[in-house]
Structure 1
């Protein structure tokens, strides 16, 4: 009876929530499949799909389509899981995010005059540092540049030692 009143008020029943979670679960499987297709497109392996002829352009197209599907599914799953969490919070089944989890402190957002949301620690921080950093890809690029510089230095050392070794052999032979 309670589920029927929740549905009439615009809230979803437990069965509806479970169906939504099942849909999310199915999309996670599709997400993994699209990631696999994208990775396969980066290899020289023959694709299972006969529409792709194995050319470079075919691989590029397959990779682009798979990554587009991957990111669309990832975004969709993220949004739907957030909705599930918010619904659990509204139903008081799950406690709202704490201040330590969002990176805020109770007094950091304006002290006593900041309002009840800030005092309770449930205010979402739109400029969460970890969220912003996750969207910045300089760490990976910096690490790649560092590795390339190390590889170049290693190759230069290897070249110098091989050149020095050949000259030493010539001196001994003469």
Structure 2
């Protein structure tokens, strides 16, 4: 049986479904949390009714989380199969060409005797940035927000100025 090819449009639809599933999951979480506190506006539901509501919505939220994990895992596998992301973080191996101390290299075989020492391999994390969190850095800079604010203020001034000029020319002199 031939496998059906999944198009980029299908992937986008799947991501859209995941997004709407998140909204539904958050709705259930909110309903579960609100069931924990008595609400005097609703006539004071009984404790048993609130527990039942909490159980219903928390189970639905948990099911939503499980579905989200499965769908995101499928998306990650698809990206790996397409060669867009690596299945595992690449490993960097560093070789040192510095000769070992004469006593250590004498009489022993292996790489040390050949003059090259293999240093412990390191996994590449965060695209080679290590523990540096680019998101954290970006959240600290507000240059874009300041520039956007000044552009919006300038645009508002221009609109107000145009409106004032339009009103002044449309009013009869007198």
The TM-score with structure 2 as length reference comes to 0.48
Give the strand-richer structure, 1 or 2: 2
The TM-score with structure 1 as length reference comes to 0.48
- Rg comparison, structure with higher value: 2
